[in-house]
Chain A
Amino acid sequence: MDNLQSLHEYFEIGGAKDSRDNSKNLEKAFDIASWTEREGLVWLKAESLPQVIEDLWLDPKTRPVLLTHVGNDERELGHGFVLYFVFHFPGDFTLTLGARGIEEGFPSLSAFCPALNWPEREVQDLFGLVAEGHPDPRPLVLHPGWPEGFHPLRKSTLMTNTDKPNFQPKPLVFYPAQGEGTFEVPVGPIHAGIIEPGHFRFQTVGETILHVDAQLFFTHRGIEKLLEGKTIEEGLKIVERVCGVCTVSHSLAYCEAVEKLAHIELSREALRWRTVLAELERLYNHVGDIGNLCAGVGFALGNANGLQNKEQLQRLNKEVFGHRYLRGMVIPGGVKIQPSEEKIEFLKERLYELQADFEKWIPLILEHDGFRQRAVTTGVLKNQSALDLGATGPAARASGVVVDWRERHAYLLYPELQVEPQVETSGDVWARLMVRVREVRQSFELLDTLLSGVEEVRGSQDPQVTQSLHVSQVPGRIEPYSFAWGCAESPRGTDVIWLMIDQEEKIFRCRIRSASYANWPAVPLAVLGNIIPDFPLINKSFELCYSCCDR
C-alpha cells in the first residue's frame, strides 16, 4: 500500500499533499478524470509527459509495470491524436495516462523508459506522428517501401479490399559494425525449420556476438486496422487468430475489455471454466516449449518426449472442448462449452496420467549433464534489463522480476487459487526452463483444484455459462467512445488488449500488445557475448511468437 500512498501523494488524491519540489509545476499539468479504488484516468498535456512518466517510472517506490501504450486518432472527436499509457502499480491499481491534442509529434520517452522504444516507433509508422528526440527513429512495423505518407491507422486512410497500397520492397536499414575483424551475418526472414519469419542481423567477432538487430514485422498484416469498424463478435474471430497458440489468452483479454465496457458480471462457473481453459493453454504450450528447447541443442530424445506429451494434451483439448488450440471457447459473457460430467471426469483422469508422464520424462532433461552445460550461463537477461524493457512472463520471472498477472491482478478465479509466481534469478536459458517446468507442475495442481471444485457446485448450474450475451445486439449497452483494457497471463506473459467502441457499437480502436511484443526487445540483449550457434537455443528459451508481435 506504500506504493499507492506515494501515487496518491503524487497526484494529490484524497487531499494528500505532495512534499516534492516539483508539485507546483505539476499543479496544472494534469487533470484527474476518474480515480477509483482500482483504476485511475488522468489527462495531461503531451509536454508534461516526460516529467510525469520519468517520476513514475524511475521512482523505485512507485515503479509500475507498463501494460500498454496506445496511439489513437480521435480527430473526429475533436481530441486530435491521443496517446494512452496504461501502467499497473503494485497493490492492483491501474493508472491510465492520456495525452490529448497531439498534432504532429510528441516528446519521446524511450531514453529513460526503454520499454516505450518499440511502441513509439510503431506510432511513428502507423500514425505518421514524430517521436521527438527518439534515440533510434528507424521504421519498425512498416518496412521501407510503402507509399509515401502511408499511415494506415489514421482514420483518413481508408481501406478497401480492392485498392490496397502498393508495396515496393526497399532494403532494410541496419547500423553497420565497424572495425577490424567484425563480420556481419544476415539470417532470415525465412529460417531453417518450421519457424516463423524474421530477420536477424548479427555483428560478430569470430563466433561471439557483438550486436544483433532483430528486424521483425514480416508477418504484419494490419490486424489493428482490420478490426476497426467490425462488430464485437467479428472482432473476436480475428483476435482469436492473432496468435494460434495463445488464442485463449487473447480472447480472454478481449472479452475482459468488452465485459468492462458493457458492464457484464460473469457467473462463478463461467470464471471457473475460463480459468481451466487458460491453464490448459499454458500446459500444452509450456510442455511443448520445454521439448523444443531440447531441439535447440540437438537433444532428440528430450524433444520427442516433450512433443508427444504436448500432442496428448492437445488431443485432450480436442476431446473435451472440441479444438486442439481451444479456439472459440471464450466468448463475451461466458464460455461456449461447459463439458458434461463424464467429460470432466475424463479430463481429470487424463490430466493425472499426463502429469505422471511428465514427471517421468522431465528428469531426462533436468539430469542431463550435456544439456545442463549448454543451458547454464547461456543467454543471460539481466534483472535490470528485464525491468527496463518491461519484459513479462517466464522471460521476466527467470530474471528475478516477480511479475505474474495471475498474482498481481484479481481476475478469473486466480485470487482464491493464490498463485505463487515462479521466479528464478540467474536469467539464463536454464532459469527460463526451470520457470516453465515449475509452472507446468503448478498448472497441473491448479487444474486439479479447479476441476475438483466443479463437482461440488454441479447442482447449481448457471445457464449464463454457456450463453453468449450478444453484446453488440444490446443497443446502448456500451457508452460511445468509452474505452477499457483487458489482460490475461498467457504462456508467454501478459497479453493486453485496449479497446474503444464507437457510437454504432463497433470497434473504433483495438490495440493488441502481446507478451511477445513486450519480450522481443529483450532477446537481442540476452544474446550479447554468446556465440551464434547458441542463438537458436536462446531464442527458443524465450519462445516468442512472431505473429502476435507483428500483427
Chain B
Amino acid sequence: MWNLLKRSLRMGRLTESRLDQDAPHLHSLKQSWHIRHLDCGSCNGCDWEMSALLNSVYDLQRFGFDFVASPRHADILMCTGPLATQLNQAANATYEATPHPKLVIAVGDCAINGGVFKEAYGADSGVGEALPVHLEIPGCPPSPEDMLKALLKLTEKDRKSVLT
C-alpha cells in the first residue's frame, strides 16, 4: 500500500488540463449531460474509444458529462456502427425510451454513412436511416479527444437550443 501511495504522489495529476482551456463555460454544473451509448453494430473500435473517455486521462465527468445505464436517464444517444439490421428494432426501442428533449450523435464513419459495411445485407448506411442524427463525429475510429471536443462544442450552446 505504501508503494501505491508513493506512486500516486509521484504521478501527480494524470488528467490532461489542456482540454479545459477550450471550454471556458465549465463553471455551470446546471448544464450536465447524460449520455447513453447505443451500439448499432460497430466493430468495437469506437466503443472502446468511447469508454476511454472515462479513464483518468480524459476524465469526462469533470465536464459535466456522464454515461448512464438506462436510456430513461439519458439526454444524448451516442450511436456507433452502421445500423445492423438485426439491431434496428432495439435501436428504435432505445430511442423511444429516451425522454424528450434528446440528441442523437453518430460516432464514427460507420454510424455516419455505413463505412465499409454499407453494402452488406445485414447493415444499413448509418444510424441516420432509423434515428434523427443531430451531430456527427467522423473517424475510424474517432479518437477520444475528437469525441471530447465534439461534446464540449455542445456545451458552448444553450442547452435548450441543442436538445430537440
> Which chain B residues lie closer than 8 Å to A114 at the CB level?
none
Give 9 A-B contacts (CB < 8 Å), ordered by A residue.
Answer: A161-B118, A167-B86, A167-B88, A189-B90, A220-B122, A222-B120, A324-B143, A325-B45, A327-B45
Give the Cβ gap from B121 to chain A, nearest Cβ, in Å.
Answer: 4
CA distance A546 to B141 in the complex (A): 17
CA distance A327 to B48 in the complex (A): 14
Known contacts A197-B39, A222-B123, A238-B116: does B4 contact A545 (CB below 8 Å)? no
* B84 close to A (CB within 8 Å): yes
Q: Which of A161, A196, A237, A361 contacts B39 (CB 8 A)?
A: A196
CB closest chain-A residue, reference B87: A218
* A164 close to B (CB within 8 Å): yes
CB closest chain-A residue, reference B37: A194
Among the 9-residue stretches A42-50, A239-247, A251-259, A439-447, the one with 4 or more Cβ atoms under 8 Å from chain B is A239-247
* B31 close to A (CB within 8 Å): no
Interface string of A154-195 (1 = CB under 8 A from B): 000001010011010100000000000000000001101111
Cβ B82 vs Cβ A221 within 8 A:
yes
> Which chain A residues lie closer than 8 Å to B122 at the CB level?
220-222
* B32 close to A (CB within 8 Å): no
CA distance A218 to B81 in the complex (A): 12
Give the Cβ gap from B117 to chain A, nearest Cβ, in Å.
Answer: 5
* A307 close to B (CB within 8 Å): yes
Question: Which A residues, 180 to 232, have Cβ-Cβ distances below 8 Å to chain B?
Answer: 189-190, 192-197, 217-223, 225-226
> Which chain A residues lie closer than 8 Å to B127 at the CB level?
none
Known contacts A307-B52, A324-B49: does B44 contact A547 (CB below 8 Å)? yes
Cβ A143 vs Cβ B94 within 8 A:
no
Known contacts A220-B84, A244-B46, A311-B55: does B117 contact A197 (CB below 8 Å)? no
Give the Cβ gap from B146 to chain A, nearest Cβ, in Å.
Answer: 11
Cβ B120 vs Cβ A225 within 8 A:
yes
> Which chain A residues lie closer than 8 Å to B93 at the CB level?
190
CA distance A196 to B4 in the complex (A): 33
Cβ A165 vs Cβ B47 within 8 A:
no
Give the Cβ gap from B143 to chain A, nearest Cβ, in Å.
Answer: 7
Cβ A189 vs Cβ B44 within 8 A:
no
* B54 close to A (CB within 8 Å): yes
18 additional A-B residue pairs with CB within 8 Å, beyond A192-B69, A241-B116, A308-B56: A167-B85, A190-B39, A190-B94, A193-B67, A193-B69, A195-B37, A196-B42, A197-B87, A217-B86, A219-B41, A221-B120, A222-B121, A243-B43, A304-B56, A310-B55, A311-B57, A324-B143, A547-B41
* A410 close to B (CB within 8 Å): no
* B104 close to A (CB within 8 Å): no
CB closest chain-A residue, reference B90: A189
Cβ A193 vs Cβ B37 within 8 A:
yes
Q: Which of A143, A242, A288 contacts B43 (CB 8 A)?
A: A242
> Which chain B residues lie closer than 8 Å to A20 at the CB level?
none
CA distance A243 to B81 in the complex (A): 12
> Which chain B residues lie closer than 8 Å to A243 at the CB level?
43-44
Give the Cβ gap from A514 to chain B, nearest Cβ, in Å.
Answer: 11
Interface string of B108-145 (1 = CB under 8 A from A): 00000001111111110000000000000000110100
CB closest chain-B residue, reference A217: B86
* B14 close to A (CB within 8 Å): yes
CA distance A314 to B118 in the complex (A): 28
CA distance A489 to B141 in the complex (A): 23
> Which chain B residues lie closer than 8 Å to A324 at the CB level?
49, 143
Give the Cβ gap from A378 to chain B, nearest Cβ, in Å.
Answer: 22
CA distance A217 to B122 in the complex (A): 11
CB closest chain-B residue, reference A237: B116
CB closest chain-B residue, reference A227: B120
* B7 close to A (CB within 8 Å): yes
Q: Which of A194, A220, A237, A238 contacts B51 (CB 8 A)?
A: A194
Known contacts A244-B46, A314-B52, A325-B45: does B120 contact A197 (CB below 8 Å)? no
Give the Cβ gap from B71 to chain A, nearest Cβ, in Å.
Answer: 8
CA distance A161 to B57 in the complex (A): 42
> Which chain B residues lie closer than 8 Å to A247 at the CB level?
45
CA distance A550 to B84 in the complex (A): 11
Give the Cβ gap from B106 to chain A, nearest Cβ, in Å.
Answer: 16
Known contacts A196-B47, A223-B117, A324-B143: does B84 contact A307 (CB below 8 Å)? no
Cβ B86 vs Cβ A223 within 8 A:
no
> Which chain A residues lie closer than 8 Å to B17 at the CB level?
none
CA distance A313 to B51 in the complex (A): 15
